[in-house]
Structure 1
Amino acid sequence: MFWSVSARTKNQEAAQIFLNYLVNDQASGDLLLAERGVPANNVVRAAIADKVDATGRLAIEYTDAIADEVRPAPPITPAGGSAIDAILARYASDILFERVTPEAAAPAFIKELSDSIKK
């Protein structure tokens, strides 16, 4: 789970303290257990392992079993990047229904997506 704080928040320090609490504080771990997923903090995770329900226990066992296979999370999608699904679907539909050629759609798609990211 990606936690984030807007760069424009008026309460930057409070937000950082809150996120640190959610991720690294044992009291938060005791409250959340595995409700928001298996804690990424290994100390918190170990401390809650005996407190979670059967589903939480299975989640912890599963993440332990695949630990050697897991790679770092991909980068966070840039602001405006989530528009790609709608943009891609529209261009794909236009190509499939022969309203535009792939050669003409490609640069328009790239420009539209790039413009959405720059916002």
Structure 2
Amino acid sequence: MSGLLVFDKIISDRGSRYAVSGGAARDRDGVAALLDELRGRGRFAKATHHSWAAILSGEPAFSDDGEKGAGGLILQMIERAGLADHVVIVTRWYGGKHLGGDRFRHVADAVRHYLAEMGQRA
């Protein structure tokens, strides 16, 4: 049974769509396995970005995956929430229109959604 939790179609703005996912990960191999699983799920394979962050054995790790600044924002939020050995992934399908600073608000809202589902506070 998979440890990947997926909350799809949670945000839509000007054609861009967002989902948030995550699961337990103790190291970068665990993160890679969850990312591979996510990318293997139908439409997630065609997403534009899978930005993620985790605190692995006390060390921060993140990737913007082309969405500059997104991984760092996710990391800040999970550090504040005290969520360790767990990866949070924000997926975006680009809709053809630039969102400017709103994209950071959407990433933050997606992480808040995930943390709330996990019983954590952002």
Give the TM-score of the pair, scaled to structure 2: 0.23
Q: Considering fraction of residues, name the structure with more strand.
A: 2
Q: Considering fraction of residues, name the structure with more helix.
A: 1
Give the TM-score of the pair, scaled to structure 1: 0.23
> Which structure is larger by alpha-carbon Rg, 1 or 2?
1
